[in-house]
Structure formats: structure tokens, C-alpha cells
Amino acid sequence: MSKSTRVEFPRMIRGSVVVQRRRCGTPTCRCADGEQLHESTVLSYSQDGRNRTVMLAPEEIAKVRAAVQRYRAAQSRLEDQGNAGLAALLTRRAAARRAR
Ligand SMILES: [Zn+2]
């Protein structure tokens, strides 16, 4: 596959990586007594007001965690910038009021 057609792994992903533990439903399975549940690592996210999950392949987990971390860092920086802008506007407003 050429580089231009390959889908790059996303740099940022919204959601949380969580480990789910559950029974599979097979009565004879080791999970049936509730002691040894099946574990799967999923990305949990909300869309259209619903919580959803998508199963992650073992080789995806570290990359997804990193992308979630990048998203959160970017979101936090954006929030800081927005708050700084708000504070600056309020300061200007107060200074203008004092000058009158
Ligand atoms: Zn099972």
C-alpha cells in the first residue's frame, strides 16, 4: 500500500480507555461462577447522548491511550486559552469603567 492511501492512526481520540469484565454467557465457561471474568479493553465514549464502547485490539491499546492523552492535553490548553481570554476581556472592561 502506498503512503498516500494508508489511513494514519488518529493523533487525538475523544473517550476513555477502560477494562471491562464480564461473563460470556456460556454455562460451562470459567467465567460462569463470576470468579474469572473475561476482560476486554475498550474505548468508552459518548455520542448523541449515549455511552458507547468499541473493542480495542491488543496492539491498538497503547496508541489509543496516547491519542486520548493528546486529546485531553489539547482540550486543557484550549480551556486555559479561553479562560485567559475571558479574564483579559473582564480586565479591559473594568479598566474602561475606571477611566470614565
Ligand atoms: Zn466465559
Q: How far is the CA of 21 from the centre of ligand 1 (A)?
A: 10
**Distance, CA of 70 to CA of 10 (rounded, Å):** 10
Q: How far is the CA of 46 from the centre of ligand 1 (A)?
A: 27
**Distance, CA of 73 to CA of 85 (rounded, Å):** 18
Q: How far is the CA of 33 from the centre of ligand 1 (A)?
A: 9
pLDDT of 5 reads 64
pLDDT of 3 reads 54
pLDDT of 64 reads 98
What is the residue whose three cell numbers read 456460556? 26
DSSP letter string over 65-98? Answer: HHHHHHHHHHHHHHHHHHHHHHHHHHHHHHHHHH
The upper half-sphere exposure of residue 41, i.e. CA atoms within 13 Å in the direction of its Cβ, equals 12
| Residue 50 DSSP symbol | E
Ligand 1 ion: nearby residues, β-carbon < 5 Å: 24, 29, 31
pLDDT tens for the chain, residues 1 to 100: 455 567 889 999 999 999 999 999 999 999 999 889 999 999 999 999 999 999 999 999 999 999 999 999 999 999 999 999 999 999 999 998 888 7
